[in-house]
Amino acid sequence: MDENGGLKKREHVCSKTRCSVFIAFLVASCVVVLCVVTFEVDDLRMKIQYDVSGLAWWKTSIIYQVYPRSFKDSNGDGVGDLRGITQKLDYLADLGIGAIWISPFYTSPMRDFGYDISNYTQVDPTFGTMDDFDNLLKEARKRGLKIIVDFVPNHTSNESMWFQESRKGPNNSYSDYYVWKDGVILPNGSRGPPNNWLSVFGGSAWTFDPERGQYYYHAFLKSQADINFYSPHVLQELKTVLRFWLDRGVSGFRLDALKFLFESKDVTLNEALLPNQFEWNDDGPHNLTTSFPQINDVIKDWRSLLDEYTSYDKEPRFMAEESYGLTAEMRNAHYKSGAMPFNFALLNMNSTCGGTCVMRLINKGLHELADDAWPNFQVGNHDNSRVASRVGVARSGAVTMLLLTLPGTPTSYYGDEIGMQDVFYTFQETRDPAGIHFGKDGYEGRSRDPERSPMQWSGTTNAGFSSGTPWLHVHENFTKTNVKDQNSDTVSMLNLYRTLAKIRKYPSFQNSQLQYAVTNDNVVSYVRMALGWTKYLVLINFGPSTSTDDYSKSPVDSTSGIIVATTNNFNLGDFRTGQTISLVNVRLHPGQGLVVTVYYQGR
């Protein structure tokens, strides 16, 4: 093999400077893949290009989540927008991702910053125009990037036209679009909600509407009225929305809050709440308001629609879902129905989660899957504390290495590629309705503003995010942690990300298999390989202390290898890319990680 981790000459021998070799091999996911390999031979330095044509594009891509309010402001109003995303497409393409998932940019009163949609088929002026979106699609396509959009089917804004028509009463074509119920008469003679169901944001999930004279159900804020999925009119409307965006050219959808789509028709039933439970608890027995089996029928219907478009142009359409707390049985049922539930196991990583702990979280993401289900991992998103704040700055590069070398489809959150951290905001600075709802004493544990701070592009004013006043102020570390500075630093987090993004395109990383090597309280390590291709060893120290271990035994079965990526442990300098190392005794500091191509024994 070459010093950069290329193919060994003994694997593919070519008598000319350039040649093309067509290889059919069986990947571990039991899919026969035709691989087209073109390489140059110059003192065993081989440049590899290939097309893994047997896998859908989303199985070989990194998905990068953009929270549009915070990514890039193009017009100086302090809020990120669609034109800002377009301006940064070259950066995203260079990063090595394959698809951009954009959080909601639809017309909305912004009671939940876009997750309270008033019109599914319009762009909110805050983010630009439909022409801006179409241009974003066109420019992304030029760079080989797919666009995935958020779809929020569970609820709409109570300011939407649908809701305003529905509240007029039963003699209306929109009357059954929402969950309307009569209240009950309380012992004191006053009127109360139909039952004890709770909102995720605290308090009753029912709000009385004086115009209709009934209560409407809302799993989230009272400004987010739940859609009635038992209504065939609603199901047809939502398919029309999906068609609208598919016709514009999006490559898929991320389905928000999917487990909340259905609730019991019998509203006389109370949920068995936990003792003294006055607000939503995800561990609570919410059997009357979440995870109904009918969700699978909805997924199948939407999958059929997406497949209809795939049949036209042969491009697979992607559909993922957000559903926290699914059992393995539920997760696999959703997979079988046609949606990929995002795996949130790694969101539980923190500074005390060492090698064995990380292995357990990986296993939760892999071993609970049905054989034909494709894995995926997420380490951060718009609803959870940033990686660098959860695990510590010194381990954030290690988490990046973990995410981009695990099997399946990884999803990155904007800014994690440079190690952005949570930002502290006072209650007066807080913008997130979830945080404000819980008041000055409770907002810190509920606000999602800390992980939604503006992207840190440079060390200039407002981190290069906006020429105006940002909707949230940037982190104070922006002069040291930013894209511009890391771009020119060869051992930066950003360039580590780029290196790993290239490595994970190798055939050995394009399957769903993983074999553990050494794992202990400090280290987790594993082998990634595909039949006929170079074997790779990934070894990372997530523990509290330095660890020296022998990695040469099975499944590595080699005493040496070449480093193709290193976290550098932030310039400790123990290892360098291209260095040949012994695998018998490798000494890793906390937060340090390596990707190594493995020599065949006896070379």
Please state the length of the chain.
603
pLDDT at position 66 over 80 = yes
User: Stretch 491-501: mean pLDDT, rounded?
Assistant: 95
Q: What is the 3-state secondary structure (H, E, C) of 323-353?
A: CCCCCHHHHHHHHHHCCEECCCHHHHCCCCC
Does the residue 545 lie in any domain?
A: yes
Active-site residue flag, 237: no
Active-site residue flag, 322: yes
Does the residue 547 lie in any domain?
A: yes
pLDDT at position 20 over 90 = no
Q: For position 275, what pLDDT does the model report?
A: 62
pTM value > 0.75: yes
How many domains would you assign to the chain? 2
Quick one: CA torsion of 43, 45, 51, 56, rounded to 10 degrees?
A: 150
pLDDT at position 587 over 70 = yes
**Nearest in space to 225 (alpha carbons), one of 167, 280, 184:** 167
SS3 119: strand
Place 365 in a pLDDT band, splitting at 50, 70 and 90. confident
CATH number of residue 544's parent domain: 2.60.40.1180
Does the residue 24 lie in any domain?
A: yes
Does the residue 564 lie in any domain?
A: yes
Q: In the Cβ-directed half-sphere of 245, how many Cα atoms lie within 13 Å?
A: 29
What whole-number distance in Å separates Cα of residue 249 and Cα of residue 251? Answer: 6
pLDDT at position 18 over 80 = no
Does the residue 536 lie in any domain?
A: yes
Q: For position 37, what pLDDT does the model report?
A: 37
Q: Which domain holds residue 571?
A: 511-598
Helix residue ranges per DSSP H, 228-327:
232-248, 294-313
| β-pair partners for 181 | 215
Give 171-223 pLDDT, tens digit per residue.
889 999 999 999 999 889 889 999 999 999 888 999 999 999 999 999 999 99
Does the residue 572 lie in any domain?
A: yes
Place 257 in a pLDDT band, splitting at 50, 70 and 90. very high
What whole-number distance in Å separates Cα of residue 508 and Cα of residue 48? Answer: 13
Place 1 in a pLDDT band, splitting at 50, 70 and 90. very low
Q: For position 186, what pLDDT does the model report?
A: 87
Last residue of a domain, one of 48, 67, 88: 48
112, 132, 271, 322: the active-site residue: 322
Q: For position 48, what pLDDT does the model report?
A: 38
Does the residue 594 lie in any domain?
A: yes
Does the residue 395 lie in any domain?
A: no
Q: For position 371, what pLDDT does the model report?
A: 84
What whole-number distance in Å separates Cα of residue 132 and Cα of residue 74? Answer: 12
The DSSP string of 496-562 is: HHHHHHHHTTSGGGSSS--EEEEESSSEEEEEE--TTS--EEEEEE-SSS-EEE---STTT--SEEE
What percent of the chain has a predicted confidence (pLDDT) above 70? 89
Whether the CB-CB separation of 565 and 594 falls below 8 Å is answered with yes
pLDDT at position 73 over 70 = yes
150, 256, 417, 432: the active-site residue: 256
Give 431-453 pLDDT, tens digit per residue.
998 899 889 999 998 999 999 99
The conformation of residue 33, written as its DSSP 8-state character, comes to E
Average pLDDT, rounded, for the chain: 89
Give 297-347 pLDDT, tens digit per residue.
999 999 999 999 999 999 999 999 999 988 999 999 999 999 999 999 999
Last residue of a domain, one of 5, 32, 48: 48
Q: For position 384, what pLDDT does the model report?
A: 96
Q: For position 40, what pLDDT does the model report?
A: 29
